[in-house]
């Protein structure tokens, strides 16, 4: 920056307020998360994912009729375009599911004739399609890469229940479907996290919603963001033995390696979402009679609190929860997207509704007054 007010960029823009939003708020010191004024614990206890989607998009809870209308519109749009599913069959079977999601979500735009509209009506249509189809694509990819038939969505089911059905080809039991629904509620929005900020930057150029969400998926895939949940489970599998935890953590800290699922850019205390996921990890451990992963996670949590004063984030206990739900490791981050698309699209709608191109400045730290030297004389 050479012409505007002198300022020093905060590393990673920590603490910088970069947008106004009424969608969600994180109070890092109190460990409090709200969506449109409602505490995440209240919503997790009492709400459904579809109700939360309405809340994020409209700023208030729906009436019964409004909820039924939105749920029905989402269900009517569960089917991804046949051409997109066909295209997926040509992908290499070892393609990472997040790469598949990024590529196919970008392609969904071809099949939405109003997909470039940034007015609320058209953008809302795209938001519904994206929210309905990210789960379909993620589940379909797992079937395709394993040589199985794609399971058509069941339009009588909600997003959570339907996702598990399309993945497994059979219905989840009621408790598991409800637990998964709450997981989707917990991941739906988190203020100006890296992927949401990305979607707002893209939407701020008045690019279409598919482009903005595609960019959000790319950002979510990174191991420091949504990719952490898969890496937590890889870490637990690598350690494998509860007796090895203490030594493993000490060595990781000595080598200055980060423990995945621990720490947060905003929370200085417990991430309220982790409170629910810790409970669910235990529920699944008891249900499956496999307590090892939960116990190992608890020990890592305890050590990281004692040694570094750090707490688990949303990804830490979601790993062992999903693992015992028999969900493949590399689908944990796509599941994050199945939920977070509701927050992304809420933020994109908000950005379109009061748009200003997002164009910050960089603090220039390079050289000045260099003179060009002919290539043969360098
Ligand atoms: N394990 C061990 N040390 C950690 C750590 C972790 N998970 N997270 C942060 N630290 C340490 C860093 O090594 C650094 O130590 P130093 O000051 O001695 O160099 C210090 O804490 C600050 O780390 P930094 O990465 O700058 O903090 P941040 O605010 O940017 O961290 C995260 C936020 C989430 C990026 C970071 O905690 C992290 O990488 N966690 C693991 C990945 C993860 O779970 N991501 C999902 C987030 S929801």
Largest CA distance in the chain: 76
Q: If you compute the radius of gyration of the chain from its CA atoms, what whole number of angstroms results? A: 22
Residue 358: CB within 6 Å of ligand 1?
A: no
- Compute, in angstroms, the gap from residue 151 CA to the centroid of ligand 1: 39
Give the whole-angstrom CA distance, residue 302 versus residue 90.
46
pLDDT of residue 227: 87
**CA-226 nearest atom, ligand 1:** 46
pLDDT of residue 118: 95
Contacts (Cβ under 8 Å, ≥6 apart) of 189: 23, 24, 35, 56, 196, 340, 342, 343, 346, 347
Q: Which SS3 state, helix, strand or coil, does residue 118 take?
A: coil
Among 16, 23, 18, 355, which residue's Cα sits nearest to residue 204?
Answer: 355
Residue nearest to atom 4 of ligand 1 (CA): 258
Residue 227: CB within 6 Å of ligand 1?
A: no
Asked if 319 and 277 touch (Cβ cutoff 8 Å), the reply is no
Read off the tokens for 100: 């598949």
Residue 315: CB within 6 Å of ligand 1?
A: yes
Residue nearest to atom 32 of ligand 1 (CA): 264
- Compute, in angstroms, the gap from residue 360 CA to the centroid of ligand 1: 25
Q: Which SS3 state, helix, strand or coil, does residue 146 take?
A: coil
Which of 192, 255, 258, 269 maximizes ligand 1 atoms within 8 Å of its Cβ, making it the mutation to test the pocket? 258
Q: Which residues are catalytic?
A: 225, 264, 315
- Compute, in angstroms, the gap from residue 224 CA to the centroid of ligand 1: 9
**CA-190 nearest atom, ligand 1:** 48
Along the 378 residues of the chain, how does pLDDT read in single tens digits? 545 455 677 899 988 999 999 999 999 999 999 999 999 999 999 999 999 999 999 999 999 999 999 999 999 999 999 999 999 999 999 999 999 999 999 999 999 999 999 999 999 999 999 999 999 999 999 999 999 999 999 999 999 999 999 999 999 999 999 999 999 999 999 999 999 999 999 999 999 999 999 999 999 999 889 989 999 999 999 999 999 999 999 999 999 999 999 999 999 999 999 999 999 999 999 999 999 999 999 999 999 999 999 999 999 999 999 999 999 999 999 999 999 999 999 999 999 999 999 999 999 999 999 999 999 999
pLDDT of residue 308: 96
**Summary count for the chain: helices (H), strands (E):** 16, 3
Burial of 309 (0-12, 13-18, 19+ CB in 10 A): exposed
Asked if 210 and 106 touch (Cβ cutoff 8 Å), the reply is yes
Read off the tokens for 156: 């009588």
What angle separates helix 97-108 from helix 332-353, to the nearest 10 degrees?
30
Asked if 50 and 158 touch (Cβ cutoff 8 Å), the reply is yes
Residue 263: CB within 6 Å of ligand 1?
A: yes
Residue 299: CB within 6 Å of ligand 1?
A: no
- Compute, in angstroms, the gap from residue 234 CA to the centroid of ligand 1: 18
- Compute, in angstroms, the gap from residue 330 CA to the centroid of ligand 1: 22
Contacts (Cβ under 8 Å, ≥6 apart) of 222: 194
Which of 263, 264, 301, 319 maximizes ligand 1 atoms within 8 Å of its Cβ, making it the mutation to test the pocket? 263
Residue 264: CB within 6 Å of ligand 1?
A: yes
Length of the chain in residues, anyone? Answer: 378
Q: Give the Å distances, CA to CA, from 247 to 262, 291, 304, 340.
A: 17, 20, 13, 36
pLDDT of residue 1: 54
Read off the tokens for 72: 């029905």
Give the whole-angstrom CA distance, residue 332 versus residue 145.
16
Place of tokens 């694509």: 137
Identify the sign of the CA torsion 112, 117, 120, 123: positive
Burial of 224 (0-12, 13-18, 19+ CB in 10 A): middle
pLDDT of residue 5: 52
Characterize 123-142 residue by residue with b for buried, 16 or more Cβ atoms within 10 angstroms of its Cβ, and e for exposed: bbbbbbbbbbbbbbbbbbbb
What does pTM read for this prediction?
0.95
pLDDT of residue 305: 97
């Amino acid at each position: 920056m050479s012409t505007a007010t002198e300022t020093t960029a905060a590393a990673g823009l920590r603490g910088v307020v970069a947008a106004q939003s009424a969608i969600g708020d994180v109070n890092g010191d109190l460990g409090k998360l709200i969506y449109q004024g409602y505490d995440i614990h209240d919503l997790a206890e009492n709400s459904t994912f579809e109700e939360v989607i309405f809340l994020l998009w409209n700023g208030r809870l729906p009436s019964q009729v409004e909820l039924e209308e939105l749920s029905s519109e989402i269900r009517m749009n569960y089917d991804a375009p046949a051409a997109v599913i066909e295209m997926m069959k040509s992908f290499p079977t070892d393609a990472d599911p997040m790469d598949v999601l990024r590529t196919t979500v970008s392609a969904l735009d071809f099949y939405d004739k109003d997909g470039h509209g940034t007015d609320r009506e058209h953008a809302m249509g795209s938001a519904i399609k994206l929210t309905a189809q990210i789960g379909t694509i993620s589940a379909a990819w797992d079937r395709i890469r394993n040589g199985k038939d794609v399971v058509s969505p069941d339009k009588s089911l909600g997003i959570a229940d339907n996702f598990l059905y399309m993945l497994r080809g059979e219905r989840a039991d009621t408790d598991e479907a409800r637990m998964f629904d709450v997981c989707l509620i917990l991941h739906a929005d988190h203020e100006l996290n890296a992927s949401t900020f990305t979607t707002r930057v893209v939407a701020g150029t008045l690019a279409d919603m598919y482009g903005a969400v595609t960019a959000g998926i790319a950002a979510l895939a990174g191991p420091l963001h949504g990719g952490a949940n898969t890496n937590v489970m890889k870490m637990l599998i690598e350690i494998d033995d509860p007796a090895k935890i203490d030594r493993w953590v000490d060595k990781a800290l000595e080598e200055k390696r980060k423990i995945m699922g621990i720490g947060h850019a905003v929370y200085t205390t417990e991430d309220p979402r982790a409170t629910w996921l810790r409970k669910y990890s235990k529920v699944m451990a008891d249900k499956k009679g496999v307590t090892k992963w939960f116990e190992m996670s608890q020990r890592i949590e305890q050590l990281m609190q004692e040694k570094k004063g750090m707490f688990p984030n949303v990804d830490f206990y979601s790993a062992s929860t999903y693992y015992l739900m028999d969900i493949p490791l590399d689908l944990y981050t796509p599941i994050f997207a199945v939920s977070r698309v509701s927050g992304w699209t809420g933020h994109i709608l908000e950005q379109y509704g009061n748009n200003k191109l997002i164009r910050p400045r960089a603090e220039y730290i390079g050289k000045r007054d260099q003179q060009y030297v002919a290539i043969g004389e360098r």
